[in-house]
Amino acid sequence: MTRTTWGLRRARRTPALSGTVDAAALAAAITAAAGPGTGPVRYEGLRVTGALDLRHRRLDARLALVGCVFEEPVDLTGLAVPALDLSGSTLQALRADGITVDGELRLAEARVGDGDARPRPMTDPSDSATGARAPRRLQEGAATGAVQLADARIGGNLVLDQLTVADGGAWSLLAPRLTVGGSLHARELTASGSLYVRDARVTYAVNLHAADVGGIDATGLVCSGGFYADWGFRSSGQVLLRAAEIGGVVTFHDAVLAEPAGSLLLGRLRVPRLRLDLREPPAGRVVLQDAAVDVLVDSETTWPAPGRLSLEGFAYQRLETGHPVEVRSRIDWLTRDPRIGAGAFEQLARSYESGGDERAARSVRHARERHLHRHDRLSGRLWGAVQDVLFGYGYAPRRALVWLLSLVAAGSLWFAHHPPRPVGADRRAWDPVLYSLDLLVPFGGLGYRGSWDPAGASKLVALVLVAAGWTLATAVVAGARRVLGRG
């Protein structure tokens, strides 16, 4: 069999291997052919019996084992090679911890494992939902994965496009501290387990377009180009990007977080742009606690259910949606977090202010006061209800004017038909409007209150107006202090 050209190098003769070959013979042939000064080594369509073992070897030529069938696991632990191509091959498992690839590592259209490819969801260890459970932080010496790339160093791209991983393990890809000098391409990847890329470093982008996985743990991921889990991406388990630092964008546009445990845990994420406009509402939680983004793009139709959203400490500059979202709906978005505090309301109000929508900002701060008083003691809730009804905690000042005019009108109507008797010789001309206004205003006076003496039912009406005036004034002063202090 001849070795084909890879790049622009001239093809040379390699040991003739075809059909079914022994793994030891293949390893010897590769070692002999991949010496210094040689061109790329390529074998295609082989069926390999036994376990191929190239552990801790250094090959000076690019290696391609394309469309081959390996009956037992392939062990490439500690291998150093300029480039490696296993595209289209079938493997029982790939052990490649500590591998060093100067260029590209390809597993495109390959298949690993001979089990069921249906995803096994990664769930929270404390979750009572059914499904495969996996620990948050692994004991790496005990854990295994169908494809193992722990501490691997790849100078170019890691290409997993259309890779199928079908085995019974919890982890389809076990690659903590993986370093990729290019991009990680896993478009249309199908994995029965989850992907573990905790503390990985990817120079450019992570592409998971239309991938179908049981979950992802990318806690601590650093990636300068973007994280694309979109256009049909599907996870039936948790997707963790906690404490990740991503440049560009993190997008779950048109993604599906399916039953039983599809959820997003994005606490302490740092990214300029975050897209959460999913295809449908997520099956599980969305956690944005202490995350920081410049722009959040979401969709009202795919917000998580009440009780499944965590927003406390979430910082953003601007909100974007495909369709306009009313401020009341956005307030409902906040209150879907059962532990929401005042800071989240203030964050939303500031985002409206930065966009020039002062009215929406006042509505959010009004909702904040309602939310805070809802958790007070009974006396606090009652006083809060009075302030809300009278003038909206200071954020609806025209309501206080309406109350004042309404009380003046009601008092004037009563006293016009039930004038009180005059007091003293120096009395003013009777005016029911000014008399009612004088009763309502607790400070200063117009001189009418002491010039007339109501009796019977009129005395009760007068007392109601005086009490209403003091209540209204006290509420206005309290609200003004609140607005000046918090707003």
Q: Which residue has the higher pLDDT, 456 or 480?
A: 456
* pLDDT number for residue 345: 93
Reported as a single tens digit per residue, the pLDDT across 381-419 is: 665 666 666 666 666 666 767 777 888 888 889 888 888
Edge-first strand order for the sheet with 74-75 is: 74-75, 94-95, 147-148, 171-174, 194-196, 216-217, 238-240, 263-265, 286-287, 309-310
pLDDT value of residue 1: 37
Indicate the pLDDT class of residue 183, thresholds 50, 70 and 90: very high
Confidence of residue 193 (pLDDT cuts 50, 70, 90): very high
Helix axes 327-335, 358-374, angle to 10 degrees: 30
**Confidence (pLDDT) at 391:** 60
- Which amino acid is located at 308 in the chain? R
Report the percentage of the chain scoring pLDDT > 90: 60
With CA atoms as reference, report the closest residue to 293 among 222, 352, 244: 244
Q: What is the pLDDT of residue 430?
A: 80
> For 461, which DSSP code?
H
| Range from 186-190, 344-348, 438-442 carrying the lowest mean pLDDT | 438-442
| Structure-model confidence comparison of residues 73 and 372, the more confident one | 73
d(CA 351, CA 343): 12
Confidence of residue 487 (pLDDT cuts 50, 70, 90): very low
User: What is the per-residue pLDDT for 419?
Assistant: 84
> Comparing C-alpha atoms, which of 114, 113, 116, 96 is closest to residue 105?
96
Please give the pLDDT value at position 114: 85
pLDDT at 375 over 60: yes
Query: d(Cα 52, Cα 93) in Å, to the nearest integer?
Result: 11
Say which residue, 451 or 93, is predicted with more confidence: 93
Q: What is the DSSP letter of 13?
A: B
What pLDDT was estimated at residue 4? 39
CA distances from 28 to 22, 94, 128, 158, 455 (A): 10, 19, 51, 26, 116
- Which of the pair, 53 or 455, is modelled with greater confidence? 53
Task: Give me the mean pLDDT over the 125-139 stretch.
Answer: 54
**Model confidence at 126, in pLDDT bands (50, 70, 90)?**
low
Judged against a pLDDT cut of 70, whether residue 485 lies above it is answered with no
Q: What is the largest CA-CA distance in the chain?
A: 130
Most confident of 5-14, 230-239, 346-355, 357-366: 230-239
Residue-level pLDDT at 442: 77
Average pLDDT, the chain: 86
Low-confidence winner among 19-28, 132-141, 201-210, 295-304 (lowest mean pLDDT): 132-141
Measure the N-to-C terminal CA separation of the chain; round to a whole number of Å: 78
What is the arithmetic mean of pLDDT over 302-321? 95
Phi, psi of 234, rounded to the nearest 5 degrees = -140, 130
Q: Which residue has the tokens 């390959």?
A: 110
Q: Identify the residue with better confidence: 185 or 168.
A: 185
Asked whether the beta carbons of 432 and 465 are under 8 A apart, the reply is: no
Beta bridge partners of 453: 421
CA distances from 361 to 35, 275, 286, 349 (A): 69, 23, 25, 4
